[in-house]
């Protein structure tokens, strides 16, 4: 085993493990492997980001596609054709072409087995005998080049990003805040007012002042205990209904845009499959026409040889 292979195995076995990224579609195994290798080297990226940047057809990705994607991520690709006993010399982690229709990441090589990360199944241990049944002899090493940059994975989609900007939120919050201040002022002023009436009106015996103060205190108490809460609930309900309507409208527009964008990518990914189907149908029609023409031609030649003339059917 050369020094490069030893270093790769030590790096994969001692420092950290390859992050598991599972594919969402059968054709995304190559993208998932690139995502795992890039994340292992420090460029954290998820499958959704790769899917948006690199369109994958229903036929899946080829080795050339993986090399191209790796170059965009500043990963130097080294495609190799090797025998089974040479697998232990690979620089890990690397990508193996599996069963002629799949890609997996080779994470660790042991004396009796290897560890792979299958985008369809996850991490697993495979014996050498089982490996010989699936390994096709093709591997792809991906190593960071001098332009490679580490990057943290972007945060997951937030609710705020989905709903967008809520119009009128600050105004509604300010109204609720002012209403709360008014209620607190009434709650604080009412006991002070009662104390003032007790100290001034009752001591001086001013009946008119006592009557007026009683009416004011009674009205203020009702406003504090009944009026303001009712008004607060009404305003809060109106504000909530208005905000809910705006949120629903904004969310609906946002989701519709995202769905249309996803459908556009979905149809684009399947264009080549539809085109291939039409090409096959056209080829079949051309073949039938050619067969008919040849049949008519050789039939006429046969008639000429037998009867000495061409018989028109």
CA 47/CA 27 separation, integer angstroms: 12
Sign of CA dihedral 200, 203, 204, 205: positive
Active site residue 29: yes
pLDDT in tens, the chain (313 residues): 455 555 555 554 455 789 999 988 888 899 999 999 999 998 888 888 888 888 877 778 889 999 999 989 989 999 999 999 899 999 999 999 999 999 999 999 998 999 999 999 999 999 999 999 999 999 999 999 988 888 776 655 565 555 556 666 677 778 788 877 877 777 777 777 677 666 666 666 666 666 666 666 666 565 555 545 545 555 555 556 556 655 555 555 555 555 555 555 555 555 555 565 656 666 666 656 656 665 665 566 556 555 555 444 4
pTM for the structure as a whole: 0.50
Radius of gyration of the chain (CA): 38
Contact 40, 253 (CB under 8 A): no
Q: How many residues does the chain have?
A: 313
Contact 46, 24 (CB under 8 A): no
70 Cβ neighbours under 8 A, 6+ residues apart: 34, 38, 76, 77, 142
The active-site residue out of 29, 33, 35, 94 is: 29
Edge-to-edge order in the sheet of strand 75-81: 75-81, 135-144, 94-98, 102-109, 113-118, 122-127
102 Cβ neighbours under 8 A, 6+ residues apart: 29, 118, 120
Residue the block writes with tokens 């959704």: 48
């Amino acid at each position: 085993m050369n020094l490069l292979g030893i270093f790769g195995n030590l790096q994969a076995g001692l420092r950290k493990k390859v992050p598991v990224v599972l594919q969402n579609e059968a054709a995304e195994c190559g993208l998932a492997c690139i995502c795992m290798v890039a994340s292992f080297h420090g460029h954290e990226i998820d499958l959704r980001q790769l899917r948006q940047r690199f369109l994958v057809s229903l036929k899946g990705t080829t080795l050339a596609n993986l090399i191209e994607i790796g170059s965009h991520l500043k990963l130097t690709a080294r495609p190799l054709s090797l025998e089974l006993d040479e697998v232990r010399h690979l620089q890990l982690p690397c990508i193996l072409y599996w069963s002629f229709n799949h890609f997996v990441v080779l994470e660790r090589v042991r004396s009796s087995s290897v560890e792979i990360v299958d985008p369809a199944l996850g991490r697993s241990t495979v014996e050498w005998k089982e490996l010989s049944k699936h390994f096709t002899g093709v591997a792809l090493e991906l190593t960071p080049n001098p332009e490679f940059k580490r990057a943290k994975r972007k945060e997951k989609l937030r609710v705020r990003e989905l709903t967008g900007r809520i119009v009128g939120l600050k105004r509604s919050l300010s109204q609720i805040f002012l209403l709360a201040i008014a209620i607190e002022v009434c709650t604080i002023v009412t006991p002070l007012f009662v104390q003032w009436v007790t100290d001034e009106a009752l001591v001086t015996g001013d009946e008119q002042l006592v009557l007026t103060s009683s009416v004011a205190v009674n009205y203020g108490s009702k406003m504090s205990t009944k009026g303001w809460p009712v008004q607060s609930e009404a305003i809060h309900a109106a504000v909530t209904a208005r905000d809910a309507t705006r949120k629903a409208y904004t969310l609906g527009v946002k989701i519709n845009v995202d769905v249309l964008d996803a459908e556009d990518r979905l149809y684009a990914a399947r264009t080549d499959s539809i085109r291939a189907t039409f090409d096959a149908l056209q080829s079949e029609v051309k073949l039938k026409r050619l067969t008919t023409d040849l049949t008519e031609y050789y039939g006429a030649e046969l008639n000429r040889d037998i009867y000495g003339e061409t018989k028109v059917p």
